[in-house]
A and B are shown apart, each in its own frame.
Chain A
């Protein structure tokens, strides 16, 4: 008889407990400090050094120094964190929220002011 009642302890104890699931849309999802969500850029800090584009294993990031643009394809990005590590001026950051779903595979483009070459600074 006891061998068909083995599950009883678990079943009875879970009657008293709250649900184990998170009621997701009502309660916001739980993230940790380390969670790899999506990459954000601070255009004021970026110096267009192209290190992030060189280190990107999926070539999701493209940097054009001539035009002064930085673009990311979120559908190619695997959030491996390599660009954030390689970014010397700390313009890139890893946010804990996942990037939202979209109906179209858009590319996010940022215009970045080209840093003035040192020799061109007037007065030098």
Chain B
């Protein structure tokens, strides 16, 4: 047996946008085991619910993560609304879906860019982010922010989109999709990309089920798991089928995300055609009293919100289980047995968001 060496990986590393530390136990060049260590950016956001009124907690929930901020807000608000038995106007639900899907496009384009950068494909990284910039412009025009949108509130949404703006935005999105088509072909067909990712970090379907993978990581291993199939919000009026790949390697995880961007463009188009006219918020009276588990689909996978109210304006408990937290055990399974040089590509393939995980 070869000698075992322990190589520390992170919390600062060129491919990692956020701090996670891994102790890699190596035998020659092969990773035998990876021991994770998180907790560098714990902020204690969950306990803030006892000091902030529940309406203001939406702002805190949005700040859990900088990429999927809007969907964090939707998850929290949905929990509070179910406790309070609020009937939301349909237009508000459709607007939430519209912004959620835009978030998904912008998150996936960000990841595709970072992943291309991690395999040394600089120009692809630049072009992915160029398309992402068009999406951020749409966000700024409709919500007023580029990263923190601040449009979700308990009982509806804060901003409306006029018919003319919506039509203009759809034209901009058509243009963005045209630009994205060229880039997505590179991710699917390019020799460099395929050579670097296929067969790397394979997660079998059985392991994915056993270790509780969620989101694109699970879908790349052949599990049809997508929380949007629960038909929360306006998703009950929208037709879509989750994207599933079978091979379970890094290439499959990238392919799932590439295809999901097209799916999100399609959902936005359905939103535009089906959105009704009307109010965008309902009046909220009283305080939440009860508990609820709210599950929504983020770009990275399923996020679970537990909200417990006690009849006052402060909540009793607020708990978030984020997708990266669920995807850490599958990540360790993928790392066992891989080459040291493949570690960065594999870690990036689950789209780790450590800020979410540590809250």
Binding site for B on A (CB under 8 A): 3-4, 6-7, 9-11, 13-14, 20, 31-36, 57, 78-81
Contact = CB atoms under 8 A, between A and B. Distances in A.
B185 interface: yes
B185 A34 contact: no
Contacts, number: 54
B94 to A, nearest CB: 19
A108 B231 CA distance: 48
Contacts of A35: 140, 144-145
A55 B198 CA distance: 53
Given A10-B183, A57-B52, A3 B142 contact: no
B141 A34 contact: yes
B130 A20 contact: yes
Given A10-B186, A78-B59, A34 B191 contact: no
A7 B141 contact: no
A6 B140 contact: no
Contact of A7 (B56, B150, B190): B190
Contacts of A20: 130, 133
B123 interface: yes
A9 B178 CA distance: 13
Most interface-central of A10, A13, A14, A33 (chain B CB within 10 A): A10
Contacts of A81: 144, 150, 158
Given A10-B186, A57-B59, 14 more contacts: A4-B191, A6-B189, A6-B190, A7-B124, A7-B186, A9-B182, A14-B127, A20-B133, A32-B140, A34-B142, A35-B140, A35-B145, A36-B145, A57-B52
